[in-house]
Structure 1
């Protein structure tokens, strides 16, 4: 048996011996379903509330689904939970970075190119981007360079990247300082920086600005779910997160924070098993490519449908179905196979060569 095979066997035995609690606990299907719900909610919010603002000259369904915009904050909370688990199952910062690149970039690159081509082909000047802007967007760092995004929804990717940096730094310090203390300091410094403006704006962006409490709620919930802390012990930190949300974002952020905390609590306690329907789980798998592709490309299709004299209600249905189909193609054709290929390549680099 080669050293690689021995390593795989040891890893397999380790997983079999893991208790039901801890970082190797089974995946929470409820989170996948919540991702699917969040993605659909955000898409409908954009088609019913944002599209009329972009193109007031076109017909719209006349009903605004503003509540769907909170789906973005739910994504942040889920990300706090998931990234905590990912870091605890990583071999180091390089391992974490490669896994995040494999997860995020292939589908993102495809979405940037598709969106650019669709917008250019349609001649929708309001949505077009310069060639240099597209190139910078391919790095996913356009927010830090203050360069416009190719698609309006990409602003959240800047927030996610900043959280990954903060989470990785916290992970490296976890043996010296308790995660909860780090979260409290992170949220406090971010809140002070946002209000006082004593730090440059790029520093505020790296601190995740006013969105850090959403991620913190996810991290705190993960710590309770993995049996590293009792949920009751986390209540003071939950209270701090909610207080900062209310202070920075007002009632809307506070309500969103409470709602996310409640949903994650229900999920880790098995109270959301009713939503783990295969359809919602599949939508959860499509949530990232759907989020990336639905906005500008969807607006172009909505305009084309309106010019064809098709009713706006049917336009939203047709556009939503089309974007779901495109997201499925991106997921099965690019996102999943590319992630597998990159992870396989990286695992081979980490594994010792056969003797």
Structure 2
């Protein structure tokens, strides 16, 4: 797939889907319309699923282009951490003081412990007296996916180190995680890392399967993977998953997890007219800031708020913050990314098999 694609547009759609669901939970404590209609998943899960497929495809390309493991890690850190740290600072020093009912907010150690979130793997969900009268006192419920995202980056690195960073390796990773999800190998609440807000193994398996699906399509690197026929078949597969899930919900992930990555990447190839959005990618900023802004609006309105009104107001406010994040933090940080000798790296990571695939 060429540089003219719709990946940024899809990330923007994914962020909006996440922003759309949370007002129903935070403002009215009810299911969103997608959850109500399907009985299978809310709009936010569709958005997060979309994020992981796109990420698998793009990050695999990033690793291919990296001259070394160090460059790859540096590039990933520059994309995630600066904006995340600034979010934590804005939350602690702006949103927190506006929302807290604590008279000792700035004297509480919990206030500054919130910066643990900037480490990705150390989730700190609360601030003293902040949003304590809302449906949930969690300050930013969107951050729970970031450790899973970072872990998926690590899986690619391990594949490269083992010499199996190719389509076969991605297929094995995808099928392993797929089997864990479909077999319901992990019960709800089973945690991989025992820290507050640790990763549930069910979620890790599900999102890694989708991430690996995106990586698989990238590493196959053939035109047929994004052909109209394959995209149409994938779309029919997703529709079949939704229909079968109404009969028995267990059929839904069994079909959906296989079809969704192919539909998403196929759509990216068809949305090339939106490639101009690459110049201003606010999807990450939307994802980071929407939840605390929605929480603040709910608190101001007495703990409840019409979901559509909350969605529209929070989307407008968050867009301004996301634009500031992009122009002031994310884009300058990305300019510090390391370049690489793509073909030399490519052969060292993928070997002769990947050389033939290109």
C-alpha change, 1:216 and 1:311, in structure 2 (3 Å) is: closer
Within a 5 Å distance, the mapping from 1:258-297 to structure 2 comes to 258-268=259-269, 271-273=270-272, 276=274, 278=276, 285-297=281-293
**What is aligned with 2:71?**
95
Q: What secondary structure is seen at the aligned counterpart in 1 of 2:6? A: helix
Alignment match of 1:166 (pick from 155, 166, 169): 155
**What is aligned with 2:59?**
83
Q: In 1, distance between residues paired with 2:175 and 2:34?
A: 35
Q: CA deviation at 1:27?
A: 2.5
Cα displacement string for residues 271-319 of structure 1 (whole angstroms, at most 9, x for unaligned residues): 3345x275x6567x00001101110122203443x36x99764443222
Q: In 1, distance between residues paired with 2:331 and 2:164?
A: 34
Q: CA deviation at 1:260?
A: 4.0
Q: CA deviation at 1:193?
A: 10
Contact 1:39 1:291 in 2 (8 A): yes
Q: What secondary structure is seen at the aligned counterpart in 2 of 1:202? A: coil
Q: What secondary structure is seen at the aligned counterpart in 2 of 1:265? A: helix
**What is aligned with 2:350?**
none
Unaligned runs of 5+ in 2: 36-41, 127-138, 341-358
Instruction: Between 93-102 and 65-74, report the one with greater CA deviation.
Output: 65-74
C-alpha change, 1:328 and 1:201, in structure 2 (3 Å) is: same
Q: CA deviation at 1:97?
A: 0.6
Contact 1:49 1:64 in 2 (8 A): no
Q: In 2, distance between residues paired with 1:176 and 1:290?
A: 32
Q: Normalising to structure 1: TM-score of the pair?
A: 0.67
Q: In 2, distance between residues paired with 1:261 and 1:230?
A: 7
Alignment match of 1:339 (pick from 334, 340, 348): 334
Q: CA deviation at 1:111?
A: 0.9
Contact 1:124 1:300 in 2 (8 A): no
**What is aligned with 2:119?**
139
Contact 1:133 1:148 in 2 (8 A): no
Q: Normalising to structure 2: TM-score of the pair?
A: 0.67
Alignment match of 1:298 (pick from 289, 294, 314): 294
**What is aligned with 2:322?**
327
Q: In 2, distance between residues paired with 1:171 and 1:229?
A: 25
**What is aligned with 2:131?**
none
C-alpha change, 1:184 and 1:109, in structure 2 (3 Å) is: closer
Alignment match of 2:2 (pick from 12, 26, 36): 26
Unaligned runs of 5+ in 1: 1-24, 57-61, 348-355
C-alpha change, 1:256 and 1:124, in structure 2 (3 Å) is: farther
Within a 5 Å distance, the mapping from 1:200-239 to structure 2 comes to 201-202=192-193, 205=199, 208-224=204-220, 226-227=221-222
Alignment match of 2:98 (pick from 122, 126, 132): 122
Q: CA deviation at 1:72?
A: 0.5
C-alpha change, 1:176 and 1:287, in structure 2 (3 Å) is: closer
Alignment match of 1:195 (pick from 185, 206, 223): 185
Q: CA deviation at 1:136?
A: 1.9
Contact 1:302 1:316 in 2 (8 A): no
CA RMSD of aligned residues (A): 4.1
Within a 5 Å distance, the mapping from 1:146-157 to structure 2 comes to 147-148=124-125, 151-157=140-146
Instruction: Between 110-119 and 290-299, report the one with greater CA deviation.
Output: 110-119
